Amino acid sequence: MSAAFDAVVIGGGPAGSAIARLLALWGHSVVVLTMAADAARGAAESLPPSTRKLLATIGVLESVDGAGFYRTTGNTVWWGMREGHVERFDASGEASGYQVYRPELDRILLAGAADAGAKVLCDARVRRVQLEDDACAQVEYQRDGQRSDAVTCRFALDASGRAGVVARRGFRRHEPGFLTQAFVGEWKRDAGWDLPDDSHTLVETCTAGWAWSVPLSATIRHVGVAVDGATTRVRRGPTLQGTYRAEIGKTRQLSGLMAGATLGRVWACDASLYSAHAYAGPQFLLIGDAASSIDPLSSFGVKKALASAWVGAVAVHTCLTHPDRQAVALDFFSNREQQVYAASLRRSCAYAREAYERHPHPFWAERAGTTVPPANGEIDEDTLFRAPDVQAAFRRLKESPAIELSLSGGIGVRQCALIHDREIVIDEAISLPEAPDGVRFIAGVDLLKLGEMACRHRQVPDLFEAYCRAYGAVPLPSLLGSLSVLLARGVLEAR
């Protein structure tokens, strides 16, 4: 059975649109099978400023910038013992993010895929995906008012989100202790909101859950509440709106903010966490929320989907252009998805522990007690940077008027898979105790390049400027932390 397309993308959300656009731009034949977004369930979502880099990489930043989305400068959080903690975006970089209405964002990104040359069918419901042949897949779908049809492809890319058209075929794994249901409502206050900065996303914990509010404009906000998905069904009122109002009423800050505002549409959705037993195979990949769902606390849902699409596109492109690297490319993609999910789950557990100190309730206890094993090849960068010897090296760097460094003769070099431009390649990496098989990047900093460059500079500001000029901008704390790791682990030594 020969493939009619290089890739069939199932789903036209951020992940599906992004991977379709990239693969089409890189010369591959792509078709997107999706259904129109349900505007009645369309939610407001927050995109941090760091999402701009991914939007630019995909080639849609100008379109998103021009869409008129409400700009946001940060978050205001009432979490656990913290009261009214303001988290402002870094004013030294891109100081504002986007508060987006998802159906409109999806429309813009899907148009970007079509502009790149992907064939987009917006009324196609996927009925079945056959993966029996390692050389290709067959996707059966039906368009409105038409008979079922089928298309063959080299790769079926499941970007169908929670629907998990491929993911639910034995690949999905639900996270114990994180069964969550969300209720969301749209509120309007013509006079605006009594807030120091009405562009902020608001987050608040309560006894048995947490709530959030994302603005779409100066007068409209979406307000949601996340509760235990196992017990909510028992506690429901006679109407969905009644249940929603009861849950919002358990908050302090948000219920007060909504007083006097007009409630419009209300809807409920599953917000449980899940990952996958396998993220890729010889003829499929799970992309974005089809692969895993992270806690919406992070506001990184769309960003995660776009990043998954970019890495997935690189993996598929590598498989299509260099079949001899297929196993390496698919393993790289799978390991990266595992690492992203594990890191996010670890943050969620830390948030839960903090909330449990204020709200000693089973909702928080179960989440706080979850143990997250390290993913394959994962480095916990926060823990590494806080290690005593790394902190000591960091202090020496700060206190030294100049640096005189050289590469250690005992540096361990390994071969590992890396992304280079549009391909996954095998290249040199540094062996560390935390990564004996080799690691090339920490906090976005190329360790090998940094180590080589550090030997040619005597001042940290000069090293930072030279690195950013040669290899792209990175935050100064990331470079200093990575340099401290190289010193603490003996890769670099003082001359």
3-state DSSP assignment of residue 190: coil
Same domain membership, residue 280 and residue 234: no
DSSP state letter for 323: G
Strands (E), 282-407: 284-286, 405-407
Same domain membership, residue 198 and residue 132: no
Give domain status of residue 203, yes or no.
yes
Same domain membership, residue 169 and residue 55: yes
- For the stretch 289-342, pLDDT in tens is 999 998 877 678 899 999 999 999 999 999 999 999 999 999 999 999 999 999
pLDDT of residue 234: 37
pLDDT of residue 236: 52
Give domain status of residue 375, yes or no.
no
Q: How confident is the prediction for the chain on average, in pLDDT?
A: 92
**Total of domains in the chain:** 3
- For the stretch 116-156, pLDDT in tens is 999 999 999 999 999 988 889 999 999 988 999 999 999 99
Written as six digits, the tokens of 459 are 């001042």
Name all contacts of 351-356 with Cβ < 8 Å and 24+ positions apart: 351/79, 351/295, 351/297, 354/79, 354/80, 354/81, 355/79, 355/80, 355/205, 355/210, 356/80
Write the CATH number for 300. Answer: 3.50.50.60
Domain of residue 216, residue span: 180-270
Q: Are 411 and 491 in contact (CB under 8 A)?
A: yes
Give domain status of residue 228, yes or no.
yes
Nearest to 206 by CA among 227, 185, 236: 227
Q: Is the pLDDT of residue 231 over 90?
A: no
Give domain status of residue 259, yes or no.
yes
CB atoms under 10 Å from CB of 495, counted, come to 8
Q: Is the pLDDT of residue 92 over 50?
A: no
pLDDT of residue 94: 60
pLDDT of residue 320: 97
Cα distance between residue 259 and residue 208, in whole Å: 22
pLDDT of residue 137: 95
Same domain membership, residue 318 and residue 420: no
Q: Are 18 and 306 in contact (CB under 8 A)?
A: yes
The β-bridge partners of 222 are 186, 214
Task: Give whole-number Cα distances, 489 to 384, 387, 412, 434, in Å.
Answer: 11, 11, 11, 10
pLDDT of residue 433: 87
- For the stretch 403-459, pLDDT in tens is 899 988 777 888 999 999 999 999 999 988 888 888 999 988 999 999 999 999 999
- Label residue 470 left, alpha or beta by phi (over 0 means left) and psi (-120 to 50 means alpha): alpha
- For the stretch 372-398, pLDDT in tens is 888 887 888 888 999 999 999 999 998
Q: Is the pLDDT of residue 185 over 50?
A: yes
What pTM did the predictor assign?
0.92
